[in-house]
Amino acid sequence: MRMLITGGAGFIGSHLVDRLSQDGHEVTVLDSFNDFYDPTIKRANLASSLDRIRLVEGSIRDAQLVDSLFTEGRFDCVCHLAARAGVRPSIADPGLYIDTNIDGTFKLLEAARKHGLRRFIFASSSSVYGVNTKVPFAEDDTLFRTISPYAATKLAGEQLCSNYAHLFGIEMACLRFFTVYGPRQRPDLAISKFTKRILEDTPIQRYGDGSTARDYTYIDDIIAGVTSVIELKDLEFDIFNLGGDRVVSLSELIEAIERAIGKKAIIENFPEQPGDVPLTNCDISKSQRILGYQPSTPIEIGVTNFVTWFKNQAKASQD
């Protein structure tokens, strides 16, 4: 199958590139290598796959580039993972998030329409549930209040996908990822930051009293869910939650990292941050039923895997 993966040099994207290229798909990656975090990290993410893929550096906001890619690639499926990520940065610069996440998605969908693409998979986020009071969060919940520009752009992206599925017959799936972690995780995310600081004996910053909770999802489980959607028959338009096996509080997460490292954290307490939701709790019953999705990596094993990878990366950089 001819595949385009946007954001393919990122954390989730590079794992998907590895899987699809190893499975024999013809993979093109479009990534801007922006400076949200060190671009050399993203280049390293793709190092082991470069001989199996086509890599194009550029922005999803470049309509001419996107159109030429679709013309040359004659893609069967697009996995659209490229986005400006993060709740807190989106509050500081909402315009950038609207330009990238909404207008960039629109440009991809327009190219998909023009070139008769069959299937389009959109990486959404659990953040679209906002301050939803019904738990666990299910795909058919009414979404009243997102609480960050990032979440709003992801919900807008879902609606654009719904439009293009209805109007132009493109097979669409929107995947709501719940707090993905594992090797290659972005350095700005909690597990990565906490691991680095505990290893260095520097304080970690804990926002709130530690009771906020997330449905952490290991990267291998996410990739299994995405590949199931790629292979799904009889898709028109649908939304799927891809989450973990249980909800874990911030305090429990810190304790799991401490156990994996074998060292206690030095904790500095701060007030809760604007835009952060108090809880994400994923109802995966629909994904289990339709996709055969079954997360199999508990937080204790996933965190241990991450810490091992992190230490190996640090050692390799010193050699």
| Bridge partners, 270 (sequence order) | 207
Catalytic residue among 150, 181, 218, 293: 150
> Does residue 136 have a cis bond before it (omega within 30 degrees)?
yes
Please return the burial class of 267, using the count of CB atoms within 10 Å of its CB with bins 0-12, 13-18 and 19+: middle
| Bridge partners, 181 (sequence order) | 218
246: its two tokens: 């249980």
DSSP letter (8 states) at residue 275? T
Three-state SS string over 95-126 comes to: HHHHHHHHHHHHHHHHHHHHCCCCEEEEEEEH
**What CA–CA distance (Å, rounded) separates 79 from 16?**
9
- For the CA atoms of 179, 185, 186, 189, what is the dihedral angle to 10 degrees? 50
- Residue 259 Rama label (left phi>0; alpha psi -120 to 50; beta): alpha
H and E: helices and strands count for the chain: 12, 13
Which residue, among 296, 287, 162, has the nearest Cα to 237 in the 3D structure?
162
* CB neighbour burial string for 29-42, b if at least 16 within 10 angstroms, e if fewer: bbbbbeebbeeebb
Active site residue 150: yes
Q: At 204, phi and psi to the nearest 5?
A: -95, 150
Residues that are catalytic: 150
